[in-house]
Structure 1
Amino acid sequence: MTEPQTQRGFPLLPSRRNRGSKATRTTDNTAAALLLLFTVIAILWANSPWAHAYSTLLDTRVGISVGSTFVEMSVKHIVNDALMTFFFFIVGLEVTREFTIGELTDRSRAAVPVVAAAAGLVLPAMVFLLFNTSGENAAAWGVVISTDTAFLVGALAIIKPMYPARVRVFLLTLAVVDDVGALGAIALFYSESIAVGPLVVSVVLLIALALVRFLPKARGPAYTVLGVALWIALFLSGIHPTLAGVAVALTIPVFTPERRPVERAVEQIRAFRQSPNSEYARAASRSLRDSISINERLQTAVGPVVSFGILPLFALVNAGVRLDSESLGAALGSSLTWGIVAGLVIGKFVGITGATWFMERTGLGALAPGLTLRRIAGGAALSGIGFTISLFIVDIAIPDPGRQDQARIGVLAASVLAFVFGWAVFRITDALRPPEPVGLKLLRPVDPERDHVRGRHDAPLTLVEYGDFECPFCSRATGAIDEVRTHFGDELRYVWRHFPLERAHPRAFDAARASEAAALQGRFWEMAHELFAHQDDLEWSDMYRYAVAAGCDIEQFDQDVRVHSSGVLHRVQDDAEDAEEMDLNATPTLFVNGKRHKGPWDSASLIRALEESRAARL
């Protein structure tokens, strides 16, 4: 039998892991509060009677001697050039993940923040040059091109706009492109000289980093050694060494958990449970670790250190600007100060918002559902918060200490104004036209005549699953749904809807069609059982064998999967289009009594969510 022709009429979305949004918000809020606290401490310290101690601390030299080689850096440079590499590393990991298996695998969506970031680099510099067309101040145009990612994310957490998740992903992507562009500008325009030898070594190290993923073992130490070597090579080449963090992050693989590694981990845990010993413990630990991508493991391990340690230190050593009457008066009358304020506050806002409008209006890019231009405008206003790279460029672009103070005051003033501006935009737009949540509630109510339902149709609890038959974590693949159904009995009705993710699971769409053809003979659940039991063998030649095992009339089955008038194709597409409209992008995605389930989908978590939903109704 030949393979039937397949028609597909819906966008394809990749799978991604579920995230605990509550935990993310709590972390962001705490980190933002800590960052703000250390910023205030730095400003107060720099303007206190103990200001000399502050300056002395930043200028303190710390050195390492190995034989005849001696290397030293000031405390400020250790924080800015060394520790902040880890911050750029974490941001690079998150954005790499979004581009690979997350929200930004849709390239039309990714194009918008990339182009917006480019406009947010160019337009602020042009605005700055309107105030400083010539002379020594003109060389400081680079001060206004960069957005401070740490303060940007922290400000978003403090403002708490409605449904901020998509805005955050957009701004993180924009900020990383912005940072890379800004650091590139430093390398090209603010480096006194580029050392060719170390630069060539940096390229070789990047190639070596890209090949580490093919090592059979010891990949972690290899990434560490090569990453440190890359930082040193970039430092010696004259390029800002924090670029090493982003570069290393781009070479680290990211993937969704696969069935076989997870099952191998389960087998190791079962062996340890039956015979606890150190060998089985190490094997189980190693299997569990290997089932999760290095990208996700590093975000979990390094992320808290960056948020609660490195970023507050950075604020402490960089925010201490002296604010006396003399310096403030000079700043108010300086075109340098006003150029920086206008470039960051106006240039960033107009550049990012305008580029986003252009990309969407021309069809060259698309925003994710629920992400509107007015939401982007709020984020664009916050993007005027310039801190890290801005203050760094002040030191290298402006030799005069007096004008450096004027520039630093401009950066701080712009950051405060940008925060207030962003807060106002979000508050006003949320009040005038509140954004609608996307995918938080089930779009189409359960229809017993249309949906595939197990359990009483009038059961008080409903669990709807959007999944596909090739996903290793859907329904019977893990047994979670069976345990939930057993726990609740007649109190629960379980509903299956199709969401075949062909980019991640290329045979899922055809498996869904096969199940619908079996459903026409009243054999959907039997066919589903066969498909889940043979997830690694879902070719069309296998489908007919499973249909026979499910009790189907094979001739009728063959006719139904071939003839479009049978409705098989449309049933699958209808479910998938519902999922697209709700902007679902993971399998399984579950709804508990009509509300989207957030968090793990193991049986214990689902049982707890259903019981909480039942208690809320009483």
Structure 2
Amino acid sequence: MTEPATQSRGFPLRPSRLSRGSTANKTTDNTAAALLLFATVIAILWANSPWAEAYSALLHTEVGFTVGSFHAEMSVQHLVNDALMTFFFFIVGLEVTREFTIGELTDRSRAAVPVVAAIAGLVLPAVVFLALNPSGENAAAWGVVISTDTAFLVGALAIIKPVFPARVRLFLLTLAVVDDVGALGVIALFYSDEIQWVPLLVAAALLAALAAVRYLPKAHGPAYTVLGVALWIALYMGGVHPTLAGVAVALLIPVFTPERQPVERAVEQIRAFRQSPNSLYARAASRSLQDSISINERLQTAVGPVVSFGILPLFALVNAGVKLDAASVGAALRSPLTWGIVAGLVIGKFIGITGATWFMRRTGLGVLAPGLTLRRIMGGAALSGIGFTISLFIVDIAIEDPGRQDQARIGVLAASVLAFVFGWAIFRITDWLSPPEPVGLHLLRPVDPERDHLRGRPDAPLTLVEYGDFECPFCSRATGAIDEVREHFGDELRYVWRHFPLERAHPRAFDAARASEAAAQQGLFWEMSRQLFAHQDHLEWSDIYRYAVAAGCDIEQFDNDVRLHSSKVLHRVTDDAEDAEAMDLNATPTLFVNGVRHKGPWDAASLIRALESGRS
């Protein structure tokens, strides 16, 4: 039978950044930012206390090791900045890889605005700085003003608490990813020592070996560790800043969304362990669960807290200790270096990000997510002037004179405070003048028993609406969760299915949705949907026609509806999908409990609890 012509649709996959989206993780981000601020205050107080000499002595204490005739040592400050900060850049690299592969930056139209805004937010601050420091030793410090501190940015947003911060937060985090990429490139190209080619050739060979690690049958972790340490040494000896080894390793670590087969294998092994608990089954179940999540995400979970709660506060402690006596502050106030950093971060970031966003919208080259306005972006652009971690990092490698280092650090700290106050004022004023409205919190289109695919009594007191697609392995019909929920509530619940085919992740989802609507023309939607969910891995048209027969369809009518693109068939799918787009839904399944978007797990027990609380 001839395959129906496929109409290309533009429903992009935009997986939620779950690692940053949950309430628990927002709390973690805020705690990390508070700890970073605490370490900064301690460093400043210590450097200006009667024990300031002890602080300086600690930074310059040499630590090292000896093996035979080989001896290596570095100061505490360099150990933190050159060695431990490699893990910070490793986490940045993991996040960059994830966002470009399965995250926010996969949606090109949405990503275009923060990407261009981030580039402008990198370039314009440097231009502003160089306008005030066009030549001499100060000019080499232009890199200090290019980067935003993500941890402090997230913490500042949490302190200010603008109305409905989710979309602006996601915009800023997307922008921060590109900002980090630019900062890493600047460090690699402009702040490396004299190049030594032999160690760099060794580094190139190590990169090739790292790229091949994914093909090993096992022992990926030890292989990445050994090769990563060797790469750090090679870059250090080659004159390239060795922290970039963290980025290089991260970019070569694979990332993927959970797939159906590994998850089902894990479920089977957990079931076996439950029936016969023993260490062999426990190890197998644990290994299967681990394998269902990409190494990238596992490492973010394992290493991220160490960086946030250990390495970054330690970095602040050894780098933020600037003298704030009358002489130092007076020198900073007279220094074009200090004012160049303040102007670059506060003014350059604000104008660059805001101006680029306005340009992209005005020209139609990019779109903002629903709920985002230029006023909201202005507040986030102001907060982006909070430069700390990478700014202080570049101060240490771009400026040699201790006095000028202090002037630069004062500039970074002053700019961060001013950027926070500036951002707070913009959010407070704009929220008062034009309060934003929530997007996607409530169901956009009420349930219509005459139109919607509905199971249960049309007038049931409880309603559960699911936006999903037939190729999604975690949609509730596929996992059986909806069946359990319906069995629990009986006639008290009406369940509604609406289409949201995410074609970038599930290329046959739109065709499957059309097929279900063709079956619905014969009153067989649920029978066809059961067939499609039962055969999610085989949704070619040759398969779909067999499922239509199994569902009881008149195959000639079914063929006519899908092949001739019956307007009713097509519009039922596109209307649902456009509703999902308007509500800014970004993953399947997305569920609404009694008209309110469900946040959190979608297993049967969680959904039952949500429906019970909605009833009360």
Q: TM-score, normalised by structure 1?
A: 0.95
Output the CA distance in 2 between the equivalents of 1:345 and 1:489.
59
Which residue is equivalent to 2:594?
593
Shift of residue 305, structure 1, vs aligned partner: 1.6
Output the CA distance in 2 between the equivalents of 1:204 and 1:410.
41
Which residue is equivalent to 1:4?
4
Which residue is equivalent to 2:328?
327
Give structure 1 stretches of 5+ with no counterpart.
none
Percent identity reads 85
Classify 1:365/1:207 alpha carbon distance in 2 versus 1 (closer, same or farther; 3 Å).
farther
Output the CA distance in 2 between the equivalents of 1:176 and 1:598.
25
Any idea what SS the aligned residue of 1:405 has? helix
Classify 1:17/1:476 alpha carbon distance in 2 versus 1 (closer, same or farther; 3 Å).
farther
Which residue is equivalent to 1:613?
614
Mean CA deviation greater in 444-453 or 176-185: 176-185
5 Å matches for 1:172-211? 172-211=173-212
Output the CA distance in 2 between the equivalents of 1:371 and 1:546.
43
Any idea what SS the aligned residue of 2:254 has? coil
CA shift digits 1:81-130 (9 cap, x unpaired): 22222222223323322222222211232233332222222221221222
CA shift digits 1:407-447 (9 cap, x unpaired): 22111111111111122222222222222322221111110
Any idea what SS the aligned residue of 1:268 has? helix
Output the CA distance in 2 between the equivalents of 1:170 and 1:229.
36
Shift of residue 510, structure 1, vs aligned partner: 1.2
Q: Retained in 2: the 8 A contact 1:99–1:110? A: no
Classify 1:135/1:12 alpha carbon distance in 2 versus 1 (closer, same or farther; 3 Å).
closer
Which residue is equivalent to 2:532?
531
Output the CA distance in 2 between the equivalents of 1:519 and 1:93.
44
Q: TM-score, normalised by structure 2?
A: 0.95
Which residue is equivalent to 1:581?
582
Classify 1:456/1:116 alpha carbon distance in 2 versus 1 (closer, same or farther; 3 Å).
same
Output the CA distance in 1 between the equivalents of 2:205 and 2:436.
48
1:3 counterpart letter in structure 2: E
Q: Retained in 1: the 8 A contact 2:32–2:151? A: no
Output the CA distance in 2 between the equivalents of 1:189 and 1:464.
54
5 Å matches for 1:456-475? 456-475=457-476
Which residue is equivalent to 1:299?
300
Mean CA deviation greater in 216-225 or 172-181: 172-181
Q: Retained in 2: the 8 A contact 1:183–1:240? A: no
1:572 aligns with 2:573: yes
Shift of residue 214, structure 1, vs aligned partner: 1.9
Q: Retained in 1: the 8 A contact 2:467–2:500? A: yes
Classify 1:363/1:29 alpha carbon distance in 2 versus 1 (closer, same or farther; 3 Å).
same
5 Å matches for 1:189-338? 189-338=190-339
CA shift digits 1:290-346 (9 cap, x unpaired): 111112212222222222222211221111111111111121122222112111111
Q: Retained in 2: the 8 A contact 1:146–1:178? A: yes
Q: Retained in 1: the 8 A contact 2:467–2:591? A: yes
Any idea what SS the aligned residue of 2:241 has? coil
Any idea what SS the aligned residue of 1:437 has? coil
Give structure 2 stretches of 5+ with no counterpart.
none
2:551 counterpart letter in structure 1: A
2:220 counterpart letter in structure 1: R
Mean CA deviation greater in 293-302 or 128-137: 128-137
Output the CA distance in 1 between the equivalents of 2:213 and 2:207.
10
Shift of residue 196, structure 1, vs aligned partner: 1.6
Which residue is equivalent to 1:351?
352
Classify 1:297/1:135 alpha carbon distance in 2 versus 1 (closer, same or farther; 3 Å).
closer
Q: Retained in 1: the 8 A contact 2:193–2:240? A: no
Mean CA deviation greater in 117-126 or 321-330: 117-126
Classify 1:229/1:366 alpha carbon distance in 2 versus 1 (closer, same or farther; 3 Å).
farther
Which residue is equivalent to 1:102?
103
5 Å matches for 1:535-574? 535-565=536-566, 567-574=568-575
Mean CA deviation greater in 51-60 or 183-192: 183-192
Any idea what SS the aligned residue of 1:70 has? strand
Classify 1:16/1:34 alpha carbon distance in 2 versus 1 (closer, same or farther; 3 Å).
closer
Which residue is equivalent to 1:135?
136
Any idea what SS the aligned residue of 1:436 has? coil
Output the CA distance in 2 between the equivalents of 1:192 and 1:253.
31
CA shift digits 1:337-356 (9 cap, x unpaired): 21121111111111122122
Classify 1:435/1:70 alpha carbon distance in 2 versus 1 (closer, same or farther; 3 Å).
farther
Give the CA RMSD over aligned residues: 2.0
Which residue is equivalent to 2:24?
23
Mean CA deviation greater in 10-19 or 515-524: 10-19
2:45 counterpart letter in structure 1: L
Shift of residue 15, structure 1, vs aligned partner: 4.8
Any idea what SS the aligned residue of 1:495 has? strand
CA shift digits 1:467-525 (9 cap, x unpaired): 11111111331111101111111111100001111111111111111111111111111
CA shift digits 1:442-475 (9 cap, x unpaired): 1111100010000111111111111111111113
Paired residue total: 615
Which residue is equivalent to 2:47?
46
Q: Retained in 1: the 8 A contact 2:470–2:513? A: yes
